[in-house]
Structure 1
Amino acid sequence: MSQLRSAPRRNSSARKWRVMLLLALTAPLAACGGADRIVTSSVEPRDVRALHPIELTRGRVNLDVMAETRGGELDPRTRAQVRQFAGQYRANGSGDIAIALPQGGPGEAEARAALPGLRRALVAGGARGYVLVSTYPVANPSLASPIRFSYASVVAQIRSRCGQWPTDLASGSSVDGWENKPYWNFGCASQQMLAAQTADPRDLIGPAADTPADSHMRGRAIDAVRAGKDPGTDWLVQNSNIGGLGN
């Protein structure tokens, strides 16, 4: 009788183990079902725009040139630089254009001789307004001293100084560098270059206004459609055989 009474208990225990085994097997599958809703906080949600934000401030745009005069005329390189600078001032600048000539050293006389040509280059570049001419002392006369142009404008910059490492990436004496966070210098150089290469810093806030449509091209396309022709443009490109050049 004792054997008959223990059989149901053994069957009940076996069923419990089977249920537990099934639950253990289905647990990973249940976790996969909600994989698209898993949220992790192991990586801090900060990018370069938060670490080193680009700021727009009122500042000055600068240009240093090494002017040379040849037969009373400004050298072509400097003339092209100043004309481009004048075009940038006309588009984004305000106030006066400042020209600082070196005072002292062997380049002082040549800088003053180049001043009339510099003024003409500014006018040729479209700059209009008053030009403020001043001087600055040369610290080392043995070095070449440039002529410095500047004007007031909106300037894009970041406050961070790139190349600084206030904390170690993986310190052996503490666990400060073991955190899974972006290091301090991450993205600093790319943000600095983006700020420096933006022609009009106001583009970082919002786009400029649309320019008027090309009425001639629009009319040509409409006339082609009315005539039953393809309104597209056929660009004829003639490729040359580089290996056959000079034969």
Structure 2
Amino acid sequence: MVLLTGLLVAGCQSQKQSNAELLASHDYRYQHPIVVSEAPETLDLPIGRNTRRLGGPVTDSIASFAMDSRRQGNGRVEILVPTGAANEAAVHAVTRDIRGALKQGGLSRSQISTRTYPSSDPSADAPIRLSYARMKATTGECGSWPKNIGGGITQNTNYQNFGCATQSNLAAMVENPSDLITPRSSTPGDQNRRAVVFEKYRKGETTASQYTEGVGAEVSE
């Protein structure tokens, strides 16, 4: 009897999950984590085979892309030029305009590099791609339904895809992905206001601001 009881206890203990495993099986933040890593930010420029100069709206977009690279990336932009495409002559003609627009966005000559990539279709007009590296927040793909979503109701557990869309939207909306890793430093307090509060405290006066009930916006009849 003692041996049988010991085997039952050992069997129960072997089936227990750790706290981390329990959280992973119930918390969508563990099932669909947001990963912060370096990834390329790109801008594709469609270039027609008869194009020889870039228009104002296009150069404005390129200059804005350059400013974003300084604010969000390392301030270095790479120009990827297609080779073997039908618009190869046009691509080489507008490359100088692209460099000029990037300089308008605040980049120096040393911060702009150029390399080529082969076109997959020689009869098509391949785009020029601008790229810079930046930190991005991403999640895995949503839409995984390996089990019936009603199968875990009796176990009080979430289905596999639960929370994936929320995590993906949060990763897409956050402006600075580093905020998901560590908070930003606090701004300094108002020294003038602090001095006023301390002076009132020394005098035994009320340190709070005066507020009169009923004073504020009025609705006209």
Structure 2 residue aligned with 1:58: 38
Identify if the C-alpha distance between structure 1 residues 60 and 71 changes in structure 2 by more than 3 Å, giving closer, same or farther.
closer
For structure 1, list consecutive stretches of 5 or more residues without a partner in the other structure: 1-43, 214-247
Identify if the C-alpha distance between structure 1 residues 147 and 197 changes in structure 2 by more than 3 Å, giving closer, same or farther.
farther
SS of residue matched to 1:134: strand
Is 1:191 paired with 2:167? Answer: yes
Structure 1 residue aligned with 2:86: 106
CA offset at residue 89 of structure 1?
0.9
CA offset at residue 56 of structure 1?
1.2
Structure 2 residue aligned with 1:133: 114
For structure 2, list consecutive stretches of 5 or more residues without a partner in the other structure: 1-23, 190-221
CA offset at residue 133 of structure 1?
0.8
CA offset at residue 111 of structure 1?
1.9
Identify if the C-alpha distance between structure 1 residues 163 and 76 changes in structure 2 by more than 3 Å, giving closer, same or farther.
farther
Aligned length: 166
TM-score, normalized by length of structure 2?
0.61
Is 1:151 paired with 2:154? Answer: no
Is 1:165 paired with 2:145? Answer: yes
CA offsets per residue over residues 121-149 of structure 1, 9 Å max, x none? 11111223332211111213454422111
CA offsets per residue over residues 219-240 of structure 1, 9 Å max, x none? xxxxxxxxxxxxxxxxxxxxxx
TM-score, normalized by length of structure 1?
0.55
Distance (Å, rounded) in 2 between the aligned partners of 1:113 and 1:197: 37
In structure 2, give the amino acid aligned to 1:109.
A
Is the contact between residue 52 and residue 90 of structure 2 (CA under 8 Å) also seen in structure 1? Answer: no
Instruction: Give percent identity, aligned residues only.
Output: 35
Is the contact between residue 169 and residue 178 of structure 1 (CA under 8 Å) also seen in structure 2? Answer: no
Structure 2 residue aligned with 1:182: 158
CA offset at residue 100 of structure 1?
0.8
Aligned residues: CA RMSD = 3.3
